[in-house]
Amino acid sequence: MRFLTVAEVAALMRVSKMTVYRLVHGGELSAVRVGRSFRVPEHAVHTYLRGAFSQTA
């Protein structure tokens, strides 16, 4: 399993880091806290994006 930083997730999703933090804190995107930072499982990003696109279609 590969974990991504908030900055990597933001770049992958083409959104700001603040948007990623909102998704994590809102429970829409799962993440693990490592010290004072978050790490997001790569599969969680793909799952979120699949769900977001299926809702708009």
pLDDT band at 57 (very low <50, low <70, confident <90, very high): low
DSSP annotation of 21 reads H
Token look-up 């769900």 returns 51
What is the predicted pLDDT for the residue at 52? 78
Burial of 13 (0-12, 13-18, 19+ CB in 10 A): middle
User: By C-alpha distance, which of 29, 56, 57, 34 is closest to 45?
Assistant: 29
pLDDT band at 10 (very low <50, low <70, confident <90, very high): very high
Distance, CA of 52 to CA of 19 (rounded, Å) = 14
